Copies of this chain bind each other. A is one copy, B any other.
Amino acid sequence: MPSCMVHIPPSVHRSDVDCACCDLEERAFCAGLAQTSSALRAIRYDTRMDSQATIFREGDAASNIFTLVSGAVKLSKLMVDGRRQIVGFLFPGDFFGFGHNELYGYTAETLSPTTLCRFPLVSLDTVVAGSRELERRLLRRMIAELSFAQEQMLLLGRMNAREKVSHFLLMLSRRATHRGEPASPVAVPMSRLDIADYLGLTIETVSRTLTGLKKEGLIAINGNSRVDLLDYRALGLVAGGDTLS
């Protein structure tokens, strides 16, 4: 890894680092294109952020889209009285920031120190117009996102606490393997409160359910941010026979 290790100053800066250094490989929506599309590379900004930082807020003018390069991000929506729903957790390779009616529909915050690839939307529009392949990929990603959102609706509307938590752990594991990490000691970068707001539960119920699964020997808990999945088969059963038709 030669020029990839070059010093990257903190915070935001115009990137002159070649996309070849991006270790996301085929997982990013822009994978492979940045090499071919100098236009895309030209509008790219690297952004480094601390843990627990706000990337943008619900209702802000949607002016950028982002690819998550390293770290983790949560997307959330708020009600006036403070009730919150987390609508997504993002990991390296995921993208976010498409707004409806020019506004972001959710708040985006980092869960850990994070590296982002930022694309100004106006510039991106013109770039997309120049790349059939890029637009095609964006469409495909949106379809996958929507499909995932519908799965989540099933979880929120029809699963009980045990099913929700099991499903959540299996999802973390599946996504970890998808980006080349081990399936079992799975990293849980989000707090219990975040998990609760993602699953439509309270923090107490999440905690109780996790201890329940632990006592049954399905999982082991290491220091609150790491969970071993000891019995996938049983967890899958608890998760309640995924949407079978």
Contact = CB atoms under 8 A, between A and B. Distances in A.
Interface residues of A, number: 50
Interface string A140-156: 00111111011111101
Interface string A64-94: 0000000000010111110111011000000
A111 to B, nearest CB: 18
B245 A107 contact: yes
A189 interface: no
Contacts of A244: 78-80
B158 A84 contact: yes
A100 interface: yes
A78 B142 CA distance: 22
A78 B153 CA distance: 11
Interface stretch (A7-15, A25-33, A129-137): A129-137
A230 interface: no
A81 B160 CA distance: 13
A85 to B, nearest CB: 4
A98 B243 contact: no
A212 interface: no
A147 B103 CA distance: 11
Contacts of A139: 135, 138-139, 142
Contacts of A243: 58, 77-79
Question: Which 6 A-B pairs give the minimum distances between C-beta atoms?
Answer: A157-B200, A80-B241, A156-B156, A100-B147, A142-B142, A59-B245
